[in-house]
Structure 1
Amino acid sequence: MTIKIIIIEDQRTILDAFELLLDAVQEFEVIATFTDAHKALNWIKEHTVDMVLSDVEIPNFSGLEMAEEITKIKPETKIIMLTTFAKIGYLEKALDIGVNGYLTKDMPINKLIESMIAIYQGKTIISKNLNLGVQLNPNPLTEREKDILRLISFGLNNKDIANELHLSTGTVRNYLSIALGKLNANSRMEALKQALDNGWI
């Protein structure tokens, strides 16, 4: 059994370390590495790969955005997301997309290898501490509340948001007030920061 793997990681030092470690495993063959998720996705469209090992947070085009595209064009490819920070919203998005593994970068290498082989064989594996976090701290925001906070992140005021979402200004204020209450935030910017820090938007 040889599992053909590509690795996507925007930090070259980490990328090289993963490549070195995984290439030394008899069952694995690292056939390509990328620091850019766009380039990785274009490569995947033209090649056959068994498993994608990707960082979640990649600038410009995130690992999650890439994973969503891969599930559409190459659904047979196993996707493992790696993360340093336990942003619960990212895990929720990954599960919605249908990734096969969501693991922390600091897990022992032997556990990572065991998990990768198990995922290749058909299991879905989530690091236990991350899975617990989702149960303890689920995303409290509705889709509409998330939409409004996303637009706030672009600098839009309530009137602009209302026009963008085809709502009344009063309705936007109500949604925002509810979101602030859920997040125990005193301002729209504090609510936005909390949502971003947790990966909820």
Structure 2
Amino acid sequence: MRSFLRSVGAVAVCLVAGSAFANSTGINGRSGKQSGLSCTASGCHSGGSGTPTVTLEGPTALTAGQTGQYSLTITGGPGVKAGMNVAVDGATLTAGTGTKLMSGELTHSLPKAFANGSARFDFSLVAPATNGTYKVFAAGNSVNGDNNQGGDAHANATLDVVVTGGSDPVTPDDTKDEGGCSVATSGAPAALIAVFVALAARRRRQSRQG
């Protein structure tokens, strides 16, 4: 019986450790764009001493089709290794060194070691052809590197990017013709009839006088 319990305990430890280790090559859906999902809420990372600071840096204004260079920096927290997830609606993300695309989002390809108290991931964003404000969502994970779910912490950041020089977004009202022309000419048939009646009456008078 004791041997069985020891085996069960060993399996449980492996599962807990595996939940964190399984995401060491990246995960998507934790950027903060999806409400209620985060590195902590996923059950893979929790209990770290100190919350890290996550910052997004890069141009806040782009012209349509322009490529902007951005960086996500994680500072503080357990501070041994770092991971990330970045997402944005409507724009195209391109992976940089140490990152990869996963279902249209960016994540780390491997945990990045902290250097001088921080870890940085670079990436690029291609502005879409439609004008508007596009929000970049980012999550940064600061972990202790022991491949267990405990002792890790994360934080989120966002950055608004304004795109100009492209086409304006189409709204439903822009595609509808409310019949302005028909309203303006709705009285035309009656007016023409009145003109014809007046001309006919005039001709009758002229013929009588002649």
> TM-score range with shorter-chain normalisation?
under 0.3
Which protein has the bigger helix share?
Answer: 1
- With normalisation by structure 1, the TM-score equals 0.23
If you compute each CA radius of gyration, which structure gives the higher value, 1 or 2?
2
Query: Which has the larger strand fraction?
Result: 2
Higher RCO by CA contacts (8 Å cutoff, separation 6 or greater): 2
TM-score computed with the length of structure 2 as normaliser: 0.23
